[in-house]
Amino acid sequence: MRARIDVLGASRIEGPLLVLEGFGRAAYGELVEVLGAGEPRLGEVLASSDEAAVIELWGDTAGLAPERLRVRFRGETLRVPVATEMLGRVFDGLGRPRDGLPPPVAERRVDVHGSPINPVARAYPQDAVHTGITAIDLLNTLVRGQKLPLLSGAGLPHNELAAQIALQARVAQPDERFAVVFVALGSSHDTAAFFRERFEASGLLSRTALFLNLADDAPMERIVTPRVALSLAEHLAFDHDYHVLVLLTDMTNYAEALRELAARKNEVPGRKGYPGYLYTDLATLYERCGRLRGGAGSLTQIPIVTMPGDDITHPVPDLTGYITEGQVVLGRALSRGGLYPPVDVLLSLSRLMKDGIGEGRTRADHAAVAAQLYAAYARVQEVRNLATVVGEAALTPTDRTYLAFGRTFEERVLQQDGDEIRSIDASLDLGWQALSELPAEELTRVGEEELRAHYRGRLHGRVGAAEVPGEEDDGERR
């Protein structure tokens, strides 16, 4: 851009905004440093005319005396250093070292806003990440280059699940070029410490860069933190061919900071007070993800969104779902019932799964098994609802087999330990084991071949592997 310029004194402060009348040379989006009141504060130019500049400050503005400030226009947008040596380090929300070590030596300095990837430069993501978690691998396969959020609720084990995904993805697919970028957005010290310890205990810390904007850090900084972190993630994935997994927790805090800023700027509020551009703003983060044609690296995002009031229609999870490629939803009732991971299978979906699975990728029967499990489990919900009204005794025999299937599915297929790594074969076989609780004619989403090869349940005679007793329960007699 151009050289830096210092201006003495601002005209006034309006909420988070600093107005400089008479200064007509600010560049839109230019980084600004405000000096002369303790720690320097950062901000950027929000609007610039030939008569005035309006600056949005990321820190607190309380107690600032406008006339006594020195405002330094830095002549460029916010740029941060990026380097592979940032792995293993801890940074604050603006990318400054927080671990007492010297700043990293920059390989490049990049604009934190990144630049949108040309859609034709992208390669379509198709390589499944093996996480060893059945609820993910079998039913909601994560693909390298995908953005798959955990939509959760306060107090649910989303952190445990996110950490498990990161750790096991590394173990199950040992890969030299695997890195984690962990981004805390208004999280508690405990949450940050939890991840840190899990990574440390498993030796992942040296491949992890942590960017921490904690609950007691300036909320406005939170708007910059994910952009700083994603700048490093992009550098690793697209300049150094790393497979990068970015964990963002918690996007709800991020959106709240954005809402607060919008309110203080007196913008027209949208739904629940969030600004109308929340979709676009979130998209500028979530879309920084994917794979490139001709590149070996990938950038995968797992944002964590705690749904206020467990409400999936709340603007933050809703708009997240509109941008990401599916969602893994955690359910409170399941968790209360002791299930881990408490994945609400019917509300969860991985949109990139279909091209990441099957013959040569996972196993030929994967798509059919998953489809059948979904369909059967949807029926389980119907039957359970009915059973609470009319009682189990009044159900048809077929319906009762669905109840049995539902139990097996939750207790054997979904349930697993926090450090258990299941192979995809094991997960698929468990799926068949649950399906075998159902009569074969109920399994309309799997083909004959697959049925014959894997089904172990009540088959009528010749078809399958199992021999069936001659007398058939006709299923309807009362």
Partner 1 sequence: MREVGRVRWVSGPVVKARLRVPLGLLEQVWVGGERLAGEVIASEHGEATVQVYEETSGLRPGEPVWSDGRPLEVELGPGLLGQTFDGIQRPLERLLRGGRGIDRGAAADALPERAWPFEPCVEPGLELPGGALLGAVRETELIEHRVLVPPAVGGRLTWIAPAGEVARDATVAVLTAPDGTAHEVGLVQRWPVREPRPVRRRLDATRPIVTGQRVLDTFFPIAVGGAAALPGPFGAGKTVLQHSLAKGCDAQVIVYVGCGERGNEMAQVLAEFPALTDPATGRPLLERTILVANTSNMPVAAREASIFTGLAMAEYYRDMGYHVALMADSTSRWAEALREIAGRLEEMPAEEGYPAYLPSRLAAFYERAGVVETLSGARGSVTIIGAVSPPAGDVTEPVTQHTQRFTRALWSLSRDLASARHYPAIGWEASYSFYGDAVAGWWEAEGGEGWTELRHAAAQVLEQDARLEPIVRLVGSEALPDRQRWVLEAARLLKEGYLRQNALHPVDAACPPRKQVELLRLFVRLFELGRDLVAAGVPLVRLRRALDTRRLLRLKESVPNDDPSAVTAALAELERDLAALRAGAPAPSGRDDAEVPT
Ligand X SMILES: Nc1ncnc2c1ncn2[C@@H]1O[C@H](COP(=O)(O)OP(=O)(O)OP(=O)(O)O)[C@@H](O)[C@H]1O
List binders of ligand X among 334-363 (CB under 6 A).
349, 351, 354
Nearest alpha carbon to residue 232 among 99, 85, 98: 85
Q: Cα separation of 28 and 24, whole Å?
A: 11
CB closer to partner 1, 37 vs 117: 117
Q: Which residue has the tokens 């009682």?
A: 391
Q: Which two tokens stand for residue 381?
A: 């919900």
Answer whether 225's CB lies under 8 Å from 21's CB.
no
**290 touches partner 1 (CB under 8 A):** yes
Kindly identify the residues of this chain, within the stretch 310-349, that bind partner 1 according to CB under 8 A.
313-315, 318-319, 321-323, 325-327, 346-347, 349
Q: Which two tokens stand for residue 326?
A: 């599916």
Q: Which two tokens stand for residue 355?
A: 């091209």
Q: How far is CA 238 from CA 75, 78, 179, 470, in A?
A: 27, 20, 13, 62
Closest contact distance (angstroms) between CB of 303 and partner 1 is 14
Chosen residue from 127, 287, 420, 429 binding partner 1 by CB under 8 A: 287
Distance of CA 298 to the CA centre of its chain: 15
Residue 196 interacting partner from partner 1, ligand X, none (CB closer than 5 to 8 Å by kind): none
Stretch that binds partner 1, among 35-43, 107-115, 184-192, 202-210 (CB under 8 A): 107-115
Q: Which residue has the tokens 């208004």?
A: 186
Q: Which two tokens stand for residue 37?
A: 């009141």
Size of the site for ligand X (CB under 6 A): 4
| Beta carbons within 10 angstroms of residue 98's beta carbon | 15
Residue 145 interacting partner from partner 1, ligand X, none (CB closer than 5 to 8 Å by kind): partner 1
Kindly identify the residues of this chain, within the stretch 302-331, that bind ligand X according to CB under 6 A.
322
Size of the site for partner 1 (CB under 8 A): 91
Q: Cα separation of 291 and 143, whole Å?
A: 11
Query: By beta-carbon distance, which residue lies closest to ligand X?
Result: 351
One-letter amino acid identity for 299? Answer: L
Q: Cα separation of 145 and 282, whole Å?
A: 17
CB closer to ligand X, 281 vs 437: 281
**445 touches ligand X (CB under 6 A):** no
Q: Cα separation of 468 and 137, whole Å?
A: 32
CB closer to partner 1, 1 vs 101: 1
Closest contact distance (angstroms) between CB of 129 and ligand X is 17
**124 touches ligand X (CB under 6 A):** no
Chosen residue from 240, 284, 403, 420 binding partner 1 by CB under 8 A: 284
Kindly identify the residues of this chain, within the stretch 396-455, that bind partner 1 according to CB under 8 A.
396, 440-441, 443-444, 448
> What does R_g of the chain's alpha carbons equal in angstroms?
26
CB closer to partner 1, 56 vs 92: 56
CB closer to partner 1, 11 vs 202: 11
Q: Which residue ranges make up the site for ligand X (CB under 6 A)?
A: 322, 349, 351, 354
